[in-house]
């Protein structure tokens, strides 16, 4: 299906809303304009995150967390395929009659392409991670026009924010949202440049993942695997603007508005599930017989790692944080980090705090006037321990004072 062109906006990940019949809705539905997390958390989960409950400040509202994997991992999946299997099960059980998600573009396996899937077996086409943005929500109106009233959506946080902001206007009988965490996304073109720096045969790379043991895993078309320690990545050769400002400053790493979040950060080598509400529990129930579930573990201390990351980010002054370290020391540090650095939930907490600090530092530098509207209170609570506090002009706006009816950034 040919989608309408998107108008240019500086802070936009082309979630698809601007390509719908009423693009003005971006003004009240965009994560990058005037997000209201407490209100949407209450709308979706019945309550906003409660910082007095363990881990909710970091991960958003949830009922239960699990370390998880499919008993029989799915071929082509990014991890073991829980995300696409949850959706396939929901289709098979009739919870939904269509699922909106991303598959590969026919001309470029790494480029995401929005898909509407109605048969459980077809969810296999959506397995695996793509790098880049594609207008997922532009398929919502066509799906509803085609008569689908019970819809499942698999999305990354900036897509799910806009979806939730509009949910009540869609007239759906049911909406189930499966979210993945997301960080450090970039354009598909920029990602191909990165692959070119990692290997002499970038076109043969079929899989890439930043693992929780501080290594990048590459898989090749001929079945080979390669592990590269984070410290050995060719970060210094990437252009300063490799990561767009959107992805350096977005404020929801763990997809807090999904019914269930499926990631890996807190999974210690397995996947990591956050069941956030009754719909999330219903989705998980359908798949439980196919899963190995256990309580997530936690080890190590994050404070030093996060402090070091913040110092590097400050030194990089808006570019990519480079670790200045002699070559001979890199293998030693690469050996130490997975063994003694934060692991399991502590790793996930560390990454959430790092991302919160990045938001503050990058937005302060590149778009300071956006801070009070774009940076919610929970981000400041996360950065407080590292001395990053809001200046008077950066204090988050109370939402009742902050309800723009038209988009307020260009
Ligand atoms: C850019 C990006 C960054 C991520 N960063 C993290 C991270 O830092 N920490 C973490 O715990 N998890 C992260 N994830 C999620 C993680 O990579 C896995 O996708 C997730 O754990 C699900 O694995 P799975 O085997 O269950 O997925 P599969 O069953 O293989 O399904 C993958 C699903 O991802 C969706 N998808 C793939 N690419 C995109 C895309 N570009 N945009 C939107 N949706 C897409 C597809 O619709 C599909 O449903 C990231 C995902 C993306 C897309
Ligand atoms: S809601 Fe935001 S991200 Fe989505 S199209 Fe509009 S401006 Fe872009
Ligand atoms: S990093 Fe944030 S802004 Fe970028 S694609 Fe992911 S959720 Fe969207």
pLDDT digits (tens, 9 = 90+) for 114-132: 999 999 999 999 999 999 9
- pLDDT, tens digit, 9 for 90 and up, residues 222-266: 999 999 988 888 887 888 888 999 999 999 999 999 999 999 999
Q: Determine the distance separating the centroid of ligand 2 and the alpha carbon of 8, expressed in angstroms.
A: 10
Give 16's pLDDT tier (boundaries 50, 70, 90). very high
Among 207, 263, 279, which Cα is nearest to 82's?
Answer: 263
- pLDDT, tens digit, 9 for 90 and up, residues 374-394: 999 999 999 999 999 999 999
Q: Is the pLDDT of residue 156 over 70?
A: yes
Q: Residue 119 falls within a domain, yes or no?
A: yes
**Nearest atom (ligand 1) to Cα of 159:** 43
**Pocket of ligand 3 from Cβ distances under 6 Å:** 13, 156-158, 182-183, 185, 246-247, 250
Q: Determine the distance separating the centroid of ligand 1 and the alpha carbon of 352, expressed in angstroms.
A: 16
Q: Determine the distance separating the centroid of ligand 3 and the alpha carbon of 245, expressed in angstroms.
A: 10
Q: Residue 114 falls within a domain, yes or no?
A: yes
Q: Residue 380 falls within a domain, yes or no?
A: no
Q: Is the pLDDT of residue 67 over 60?
A: yes
In the Cβ-directed half-sphere of 200, how many Cα atoms lie within 13 Å?
0
pLDDT for res 331: 65
Q: Residue 44 falls within a domain, yes or no?
A: yes
Ligand nearest to the CA of 166: 2
Q: Residue 221 falls within a domain, yes or no?
A: no
Q: Across the beta sheet with 260-263, what order do the strands follow?
A: 108-117, 98-105, 150-155, 174-179, 260-263, 271-275, 64-70, 291-294
Q: Residue 127 falls within a domain, yes or no?
A: yes
Domain count, the chain: 1
Q: Which domain holds residue 163?
A: 17-186+245-298
Q: Is the dihedral of CA 134, 177, 36, 243 positive or negative?
A: negative
Contact, 91 vs 152, CB < 8 A? Answer: yes
Q: Determine the distance separating the centroid of ligand 2 and the alpha carbon of 224, expressed in angstroms.
A: 39
Q: Residue 264 falls within a domain, yes or no?
A: yes
Q: Is the pLDDT of residue 274 over 70?
A: yes
Q: Is the pLDDT of residue 330 over 90?
A: no
Which has the higher per-residue pLDDT, 318 or 277?
277
* Mean of all residue pLDDT scores within the chain: 91
- Give the predicted TM-score (pTM) of the model: 0.93
Q: Residue 147 falls within a domain, yes or no?
A: yes
**Nearest atom (ligand 2) to Cα of 246:** 3
- pLDDT, tens digit, 9 for 90 and up, residues 20-29: 989 999 999 9
């Amino acid at each position: 299906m040919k989608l309408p062109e998107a108008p240019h906006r500086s802070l936009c990940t082309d979630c698809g809303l601007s390509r719908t019949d009423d693009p003005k809705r971006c003004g009240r539905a965009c994560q990058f304009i005037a997000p209201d997390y407490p209100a949407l958390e209450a709308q979706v989960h019945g309550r906003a995150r409660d910082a007095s409950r363990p881990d909710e400040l970091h991960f958003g509202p949830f009922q239960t967390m699990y370390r998880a994997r499919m008993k029989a991992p799915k071929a082509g999946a990014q991890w073991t395929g829980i995300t696409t299997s949850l959706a396939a099960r929901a289709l098979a059980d009739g919870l939904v009659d269509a699922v909106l998600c991303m598959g590969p573009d026919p001309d470029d396996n790494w480029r995401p392409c929005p898909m509407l899937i109605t048969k459980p077996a077809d969810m296999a086409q959506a397995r695996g991670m793509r790098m880049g943005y594609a207008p997922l929500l532009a398929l919502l109106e066509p799906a509803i026009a085609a008569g689908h009233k019970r819809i499942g959506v698999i999305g990354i946080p900036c897509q799910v924010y806009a979806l939730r902001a509009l949910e009540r206007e869609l007239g759906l009988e049911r909406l189930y949202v499966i979210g993945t965490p997301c960080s450090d996304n970039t354009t598909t073109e920029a990602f191909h440049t990165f692959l070119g720096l990692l290997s002499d045969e970038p076109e043969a790379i079929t899989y890439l993942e930043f693992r929780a043991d501080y290594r990048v895993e590459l898989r090749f078309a001929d079945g080979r695997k390669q592990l590269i320690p984070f410290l050995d990545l060719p970060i210094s050769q990437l252009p300063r603007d490799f990561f767009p400002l959107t992805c350096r400053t977005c404020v929801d790493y763990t997809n807090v508005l999904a019914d269930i979040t499926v990631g890996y950060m807190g999974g210690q080598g397995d996947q990591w599930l956050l069941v956030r509400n009754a719909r999330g529990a219903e989705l998980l129930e359908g798949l439980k017989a196919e899963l190995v579930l256990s309580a997530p573990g936690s080890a190590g201390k994050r404070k030093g790692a996060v402090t070091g990351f913040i110092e590097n980010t400050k030194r990089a002054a808006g570019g990519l944080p480079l670790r200045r370290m002699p070559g001979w020391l890199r293998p030693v540090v690469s050996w130490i980090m997975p063994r003694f650095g934060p692991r399991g939930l502590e790793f996930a907490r560390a990454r959430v705090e790092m991302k919160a600090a990045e938001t503050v530092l990058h937005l302060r530098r590149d778009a300071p006037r956006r801070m009070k509207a774009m940076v919610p209170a929970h981000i400041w609570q996360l950065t407080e321990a590292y001395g990053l506090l809001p200046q008077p002009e950066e204090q988050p706006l109370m939402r009742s004072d902050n309800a723009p009816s038209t988009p307020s950034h260009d």
